[in-house]
Amino acid sequence: MVSVKNGILRIDSGSFESTMRLIFDICFFLSNVIYFDFYNRPLHNLGVALSFLGTGCILLTKIQNRRLTHISFGVWYLLFTVFARLSTIWAFSPGTAETRYFNIMLYTLVYSFGITQYIEYKEDFEKIISNFVAASTVIALSQFLASNPSVWFAGFFGSALGQNNSNTFGIIMLYCALFAFYKAYTLNKKRFYPIFLFSFFCCILSSSRKAFLISFVGAALIMVFSKNRKMRFIHIIIALILLIIGILAIFETDALYKIIGYRLENLIKFNSGETVQEGSLPMRKFMIDYAKQLFRSRPILGYGYANYSIMLAENTYLRRAVYAHNTYYELLADLGIVGFALYYSSHAYISIKLLVKYFKEKFNSITMLAIVIMITKFTCDTATVSMLEPNFQAMLAIAFSAVFIDVTQSKKQFFFDRDSRS
C-alpha cells in the first residue's frame, strides 16, 4: 500500500511485493501465449517485453527485501551465452551467428531467471505450473480457433497463428499434460484430468512422436513415483495397460493412424533396420551423423555457435540450414566439449541435488515432479535442440527452484513472522 505522511512517501513492503508478484503472474501468462502464437510477427515483441517487465518486477521486490538468492542458474546460462558469442572468433563462418540468436538467448535468460526468483515456497511452485497450464491451454484453444476444422486431423497441427512448427507446439502441450496430470493424480485435484486428456490429445494431433511418447512416459513416472510406494507395482501395471490401450487405439483408428500411428510404425521399422517411406527419419540420422563428424574434427571448441546448420547447408546434399534434431551432437559440433560441459553442468547439478533430496525425504511431490522434468528434458534433447527454446529453459528453471524449496515452510507463515517482527 502506498501512502504519504508528513510529506514522506511510504510503501508497505508486503502490499508492494504482492502487487509485483501479481504483475509477474499476468506477464508470465501473456508472454507465454503471445511469444508462441505470434512467433516472428510484430506482436511477438510484446511477449518479450512482458517477460522483461515481469522479471523486473520480481527483481525489484527481491532487491527491496534483500532476498536475491540462487542466482547461479542465471549465471550458468549467462556464461553459456557469452561463450557462444565468443565462439564467433574461431567460427567456421563468423558472420553466421546472427544477432537474432543472441537476442533469443537474452530473452531466454531473463525469462528463466525470473522464474527462479519468483519461486521461493511450495505455493509459488504450484502457482507457476498452474499458470503454465493455463497459458498452454489458451495456446491450444487459439490454434483450434485460428485453423479450419478440416486441418485439425490432418497431422502436424499447431502452427496456425505463427511460424513455430508443430514440434514446438507438441513440446508445450507435453509439459502442460505432465503438469495437469501431476495436479490431478498427485495432488488429487481431479478438475485437471480433462486438461490432461486435452493436452495429451493435442500432443497426438501435433504428429510429434517425442511429444506423444514422452508425455505418456512422464505421466507413467508420476504414477510410479507416487506417494503410496506400496502400490508402485500396481501403478506400473496400470501404466502398461493404458499404454497398450492407447497404442491399439492409435493403430486401429484410421484418423489417429494417419496423424501419428504411421510415424510410430516407421520409427519402429527404421530402428529395426528396415527401409521406410518417410524421409524425415533417414534425413535426421544423416544430420546427426554429420554433427558427429564435425565434432570429431574439432572436439574441443567446435566450429562456432550456429555454424553446424550453415556447414550442413554448404557441404552436404541438403543445401539448407536446419538443426540436427539432437541437442547433444549439435552442441558438440558447434561449441565442442567446452560448450557441452558448460551447458550440461547445470543439468548435472540440478539432477544430482534432486536425487539426493528425493532419497533423503520420505516423500516430496515437488521434488518428484522436478525429477520427472529432468528425465523428460534429457530425453527430449535426443530429438530436438533446446539451447534456444525458452520453454525448455523454463522447465529447467522450475526444476532448479525445486532443489531449494523446503516443503515444511509455508509462504503465509513467512509473511506472518515478518509482519510480527516489524
pLDDT in tens, 363-378: 789 999 999 999 999 9
Q: How large is the average pLDDT for residues 4-11? A: 47
Residues 6+ apart with CB under 8 A from 146: 160, 161
- Same domain, yes or no: 53 and 180: no
390: pLDDT strictly greater than 70: yes
283 part of a folded domain: no
* Beta carbons of 87 and 334 less than 8 angstroms apart: yes
Distance CA 302, CA 76 (A): 20
- Same domain, yes or no: 266 and 350: no
45 part of a folded domain: yes
- Same domain, yes or no: 142 and 221: yes
pLDDT of residue 82: 92
323: pLDDT strictly greater than 60: yes
- Same domain, yes or no: 156 and 259: yes
124 part of a folded domain: no
Distance CA 104, CA 387 (A): 10
Q: How large is the average pLDDT for residues 35-53? A: 82
Of the pLDDT bands very low, low, confident and very high (cuts 50, 70, 90), residue 415 is: very low
- Same domain, yes or no: 419 and 298: yes
Q: Which three cell numbers stand for residue 54?
A: 515481469
Distance CA 180, CA 191 (A): 9
Q: Is 107 exposed, middle or buried (0-12, 13-18, 19+ CB in 10 A)?
A: buried
pLDDT of residue 422: 45
- Same domain, yes or no: 180 and 245: yes
pLDDT of residue 326: 92
Is the sign of the CA dihedral 36, 41, 45, 46 positive or negative?
A: negative
DSSP class of 12 = -
Distance CA 204, CA 145 (A): 18
Domain enclosing residue 43, as ranges = 1-68
DSSP class of 230 = G
284 part of a folded domain: no
- Same domain, yes or no: 25 and 82: no
Of the pLDDT bands very low, low, confident and very high (cuts 50, 70, 90), residue 412 is: low
Distance CA 410, CA 376 (A): 29
Domain count, the chain: 3
96: pLDDT strictly greater than 60: no
Q: Which of 53, 68, 83 is the last residue of a domain?
A: 68
Distance CA 309, CA 305 (A): 10
Q: Which of 231, 246, 278 is the last residue of a domain?
A: 278
pLDDT digits (tens, 9 = 90+) for 272-313: 787 777 778 888 888 999 999 999 999 999 999 888 988 888
167 part of a folded domain: yes
Q: Which of 251, 278, 305 is the last residue of a domain?
A: 278
Q: Is 373 exposed, middle or buried (0-12, 13-18, 19+ CB in 10 A)?
A: buried
Distance CA 169, CA 146 (A): 14
Residues 6+ apart with CB under 8 A from 391: 168, 171, 172, 175
In order of 256, 273, 286, 336, 400, the CA distances from 326 in angstroms are: 26, 20, 12, 14, 23
402 part of a folded domain: yes
- Same domain, yes or no: 138 and 172: yes
- Same domain, yes or no: 109 and 183: no
Residues of the chain above pLDDT 70, percent: 89
- Same domain, yes or no: 80 and 61: no
Q: Report residue 408: phi and psi, to 5°.
A: -80, -15
- Most confident segment among 39-43, 159-163, 198-202, 418-422: 198-202
Q: Which three cell numbers stand for residue 101?
A: 540468436
- Same domain, yes or no: 274 and 135: yes
- Same domain, yes or no: 193 and 254: yes
170 part of a folded domain: yes
